[in-house]
A and B are shown apart, each in its own frame.
Chain A
Amino acid sequence: MKVGVVTFPGSLDDVDARRAVTIGGNEAVALWHGDDDLKGVDAVVLPGGFSYGDYLRCGAISRFAPVMTSVIEAAGKGLPVLGICNGFQILCESHLLPGALIRNDHRKFVCRDQRLRIERVDTPWTSAYAEGAEVTIVLKNGEGGFVADQPTLDLLEGEGRVVARYLDDNPNGSLRDIAGISNERGNVVGLMPHPEHAVEDLTGPGTDGLGFFTSLAEKAFA
């Protein structure tokens, strides 16, 4: 499959994401924030970083980039979209996912290997995992606290839309230890930790993140 990775001004992990896409057995296609052409890709990754310097709010300005108009429209038709860290923030600002990410409750940037439980595995990004799989993936963020009102949190839990949950310590004050969520259909997934940094033994804590990039090949999303 062809997987587009968008580069915004201030994206940091676009190259790592493209590399992870390739290692996962798919073809990586570079997409540019200022171009609304998705180049016929079968899926899109919005990578981590500090797009637009995190000015205004994280992801708030990227949400209005020309490429996002196309991504939002295509996501509505079922295109698989994965937002990692800053990409997750952009998906929330775009209202493709509910809730918002705010500054970590302890006010410090956190960078560590984080244990997670994968709870939703019927998405094009997580089908390679067994339900309840416990994995270790790099986490690095300053504004990773997931918040939403109680009815929204109850809805996410009730519909099984919590994709990943923090194990051990909650690293950033996210409500109900939520590390990642999906839309109702499951094609749009937002995740605060960075699976693209956990795809090779040489660097990072292992290869537990690889599943996010091999799932696409294993199960084309209907």
Chain B
Amino acid sequence: MARVVVDVMPKPEILDPQGKAVLGALPRLGFDLVTDVRQGKRFELQVDGEITPEVLAQIEDVAGTLLSNPVIEDFEVHVEEHSVAEVAHEAGRA
């Protein structure tokens, strides 16, 4: 099993009201160093088998059609490398 992560962010020129709401709440926590917040989405895809270039191309396709809307969002795809220890730990927990 491999994990592919797709990060989706609103395009810089698109207004992000959710990010603005978060930014507006920060001073209430006494946190005044943050000058801007953009809120996006992270998708973690568990994929059966090896991540070949063909599989990755398919995931890029999915990311650009379903997971993001290219009119308002950009996306990035990257394969997450699991350390052996982490996998063993997760298996132990299950």
Contact = CB atoms under 8 A, between A and B. Distances in A.
B15 A99 contact: no
B15 A145 contact: yes
Interface size class of A (residues with CB under 8 A): 20 to 34
A71 B18 CA distance: 32
B6 to A, nearest CB: 12
Given A107-B21, A147-B72, A102 B15 contact: yes
A162 B14 CA distance: 21
A105 B66 contact: no
A56 interface: yes
Interface string B34-49: 0000000000000000
The secondary structure that dominates the A interface is loop
B72 A107 contact: no
Contact of A99 (B18, B21, B67, B71): B71
B14 to A, nearest CB: 6
B69 interface: yes
A104 B72 contact: no
Nearest to B72: A100
A148 interface: yes
Interface string A171-205: 00100000000000000000000000000000000
Nearest to A63: B66
29 contacts: A56-B66, A56-B67, A57-B69, A60-B69, A61-B66, A64-B66, A92-B71, A93-B69, A98-B71, A99-B71, A100-B69, A100-B71, A102-B10, A102-B14, A102-B15, A102-B17, A103-B17, A103-B18, A105-B15, A105-B17, A106-B17, A107-B17, A145-B15, A147-B14, A147-B15, A147-B71, A149-B13, A149-B71, A173-B15
